Copies of this chain bind each other. A is one copy, B any other.
Amino acid sequence: MTAFSPSEAIASNSLPPVDSRQQASQFLKDLQDSICQALEQADGGAQFREDCWERLEGGGGRSRVIREGNVFEQGGVNFSEVWGETLPPSILVQRPEAAGHGFYATGTSMVLHPRNPYIPTVHLNYRYFEAGPVWWFGGGIDLTPYYPFVEDVVHFHCTLKQACDAHHAEYYPTFKLWCDEYFYLKHRQETRGVGGIFFDYQDGRGVLYHGPDTKGAAALHSNQIGNIGPRTWEQLFAFVKDCGNAFLPAYLPIIERRRSLEYGDRERNFQLYRRGRYVEFNLVYDRGTIFGLQTNGRTESILMSLPPLVRWEYGYQPEPNTREAELYETFLKPQDWVNWPL
């Protein structure tokens, strides 16, 4: 691991503790463990298979995949920890003051593709980054339904809001907005799903968000959103932990409510078609994928997020007044889910 003394941290950042990397990676490993254990129990059939791997330039990870279970057609939960002397270009664009320093990055990421089209696909990613005087947390959770139920979406968002609100009232609205903007397919003019929360570059300097990642999302915003004043490393870490731990209570009840619903070829075909959007987003827009490929990451782990079976169909349009049309009209646009009338 490249040497980096936390005392180099610039004045406007809170100093991380001396064991910041250990604390972050330990939490992210524990998160992977607790998620995998709970998902195996929920699935009741398949178990995760683990591959441990090392990265030549420094670091490694443990990739876990579950396949052909009762609930999950495929799911991947990855932990990784990488370091090196040369910063990836995508980082330098965002934080030029990190130039010339070694870097350390650790993260846990997950994508689950259930077989039943009534159970949404879900994504989680939490990560921690250090390079010289620079450090930050990032991550989020978001939901991608095929045949959505409003109560599932509201439950999902309310659970995330509760976790956020315990730390600051600005977190949920700001990171919900960021999520809608980040997971936006410009070439389709659709959100990827019903969103959740997403954040990056949380370094304790107080400004939560510096404006849209993508143009074209519903609202226009000033460049600084949610200036809440300085936060310490410990405060942010506690927030990230609560967000990570909110995943299971946000998602497991949805599985239980929908796992026994019957479906036919129509629902299955639509699910496979919509999974194509997941592929388009991850390969064209996703920062995590680009970072992974740029840092010579482990391709199989990076692309584990891609669905097991996908369909593309030229010129598909949902028929009016169907559940498929409802997905496009209501759920693939940013909405105020926590205040949605049930």
Contact = CB atoms under 8 A, between A and B. Distances in A.
B307 A308 contact: no
Contact of A315 (B65, B188, B306, B309): B65
B312 A303 contact: yes
A302 B51 CA distance: 37
A303 B302 CA distance: 23
Contact of A309 (B76, B306, B310, B314): B310
Interface stretch (A3-11, A101-109, A278-286): A278-286
A222 interface: no
Nearest to A297: B187
A300 interface: yes
A59 interface: no
A293 interface: yes
A164 interface: no
B51 A315 contact: yes
Residue among A63, A300, A304 facing the most chain B CB atoms (10 A cut-off): A300
A187 B299 contact: yes
A311 interface: yes
Q: Is the interface of A mostly helix, strand, loop or mixed?
A: mixed
B76 A299 contact: no
A69 interface: no
A211 interface: no
Interface size bracket, A side: 20 to 34
Interface of A: 51, 63, 65, 67, 74, 76, 186-188, 272, 276, 279-280, 283-284, 293, 299-300, 302-304, 306-315
Contacts of A315: 51, 65, 300
A308 B311 CA distance: 5
A279 B187 CA distance: 16
Residue among A284, A308, A311, A312 facing the most chain B CB atoms (10 A cut-off): A312
B314 A65 contact: yes
A280 B283 contact: yes
A23 to B, nearest CB: 30
A310 B280 CA distance: 13
Given A187-B293, A283-B284, 13 more contacts: A51-B315, A76-B314, A187-B299, A188-B299, A272-B309, A279-B310, A283-B283, A284-B284, A307-B312, A308-B311, A309-B309, A309-B310, A310-B311
